[in-house]
Amino acid sequence: MLDATIASETAANRATALRNASAAAETAPQFGSADRRMRWCFYSPGWRSLRVLAGDTSMSGGAEAQVAHLAAAMAQRGHEVSLIYGDGEGCAPPTTIAGVLCLDAAPSWRRPSSAARLWRALKDVSPTVLYARLPDDFLWLVGLIGRLRSRTRFIYALAHDDHCKPWSTYRHRPWFHNPLYALGLHSADAIAIQHEGQRTRLPHRLRGRTVAVPNLLRSFASRPRPLEGAQIDALWVAQIRPEKRLERFLDLAGSCPGLRFSVVGGFDPTLPRATRSDLERKMRSLSNVTFLGPTQAAEIMALLEDSKVLVNTSEAEGFPNTMLEAWSVGVPVLSLAIDPGHVIETQALGRVSRTTAGLRSDLHLLTKNGILNQEMGKRALDYVRRRHNTTTACDLLETAALGRQVSVPVDGTAQLQDAMP
């Protein structure tokens, strides 16, 4: 449906949309005006953010989904919002989705001339705020445009702890990609962090630019899901790639034949074929494991509501959206190693096991002790309602865009939004 929608636009639509965006840029309130209305441009190469914006959430990563949700939220708050996406082809005409003007203008080395298309698109939308969330070879160009426009601020949001060290972020051709990413990161006026641990991981010269902006959670339950009747003892949700360590979850399932396990997620295209075959073979061999594959966000929420715990086996993360989604319905998180900002332990939102034996022991505890499970679930729901609601995330991001210090800690209190019934 998305491809059909985009394909139906004409070249005239493209010119009209860009002219309108340029005209609006001339007449809109200036940066820092009293009503705080700004022109936001979200830079998200590839197509995933666009597809999330259009409603397809089955193959999106957490970072791309956050970009889409933030763009839509900012548009809903009355800002002028654009999204730059694509893979260098620039074939799709402009289209507006959820109040966001979507421009196929992200560049690619395969087409060097596509960098000029990005430059023209940014000139046309004339943003007061540029926002990016993933490492990219062309971040430096986004930052340069921000530097050349005195009224534009460039905010780069860290999506992963490994992105804090720009010179070691890329493993593929690091001699080429890492310097370009480092140049882009250093060009940011502000660096949004998901948790305090990311601040300490950054190079010293960049730590003074950090602002705490929590991940946005669009909705949450009014009360924790009932534990009675939950059909899934342990749920695993992620895009299947090496760092997510699905094999650890399958080993856990093999050691707990009396419990029921479910796996949600598609295989990343970069996953070696042999690794994929091994994982598929192992899942088929375990009678207590159900593989559900790529699943839409609404279906994932239904699965979480039918689960006793969410299990995370990753070796590296940022602040996983899946953890927030589990907490939003009162489901504790059982993590082997990842504890973003130490919130799981300090806020008692689940368990951090650290060893495979501990993971197995904690799983038995949280699946058998209903009182403890529900206590943790209630605290988890209270935490996300307080900290990760749309109002709080957007307010703090707007504050960062205005160049002001954000004094609210990453795990601090925040204004509530209306809960789902």
What integer pLDDT is reported at residue 419 of this predicted model?
35
**Calpha distance 49→69 (Å, rounded):** 9
| Entry pTM | 0.85
Q: Are 95 and 6 in contact, with CB atoms under 8 Å apart?
A: yes
* Domain positions in the chain: 2-212, 232-386
What are the pLDDT digits (tens) for 196-254? 999 999 999 999 999 999 999 988 999 999 999 899 999 999 999 999 999 999 999 99
The 10 Å Cβ neighbour count of residue 398 is 18
What integer pLDDT is reported at residue 404 of this predicted model?
64
Counts of helices then strands in the chain (DSSP H, E):
17, 14
Q: DSSP letter at 240? A: B
Amino acid, single-letter form, for residue 159: A
**Calpha distance 286→290 (Å, rounded):** 9
Q: DSSP letter at 331? A: -
Q: Pick out the chain residues at pLDDT < 50.
A: 1-34, 406-421
Q: Which CATH superfamily is domain 232-386 in?
A: Glycogen Phosphorylase B; (3.40.50.2000)
**Calpha distance 286→276 (Å, rounded):** 16
Angstrom CA distances, 193 to 54, 132, 208, stand at 27, 12, 12
Q: Are 363 and 234 in contact, with CB atoms under 8 Å apart?
A: yes
Helix (H, G, I), strand (E, B) or coil at 221: coil
Fold match between 2-212 and 232-386? yes
Residues 6 or more apart in contact with residue 124 via CB below 8 angstroms: 18, 21, 22, 25
Amino acid, single-letter form, for residue 103: L
Residue with tokens 């050349």: 148
Q: Among residues 334, 324, 370, which one has the least CA distance to residue 226?
A: 370
**Residue range 2-212, CATH number:** 3.40.50
Angstrom CA distances, 249 to 58, 130, 263, 314, 341, stand at 21, 39, 9, 10, 23
* Cα angle 33, 38, 42; round to 5: 155
Residues 6 or more apart in contact with residue 112 via CB below 8 angstroms: none
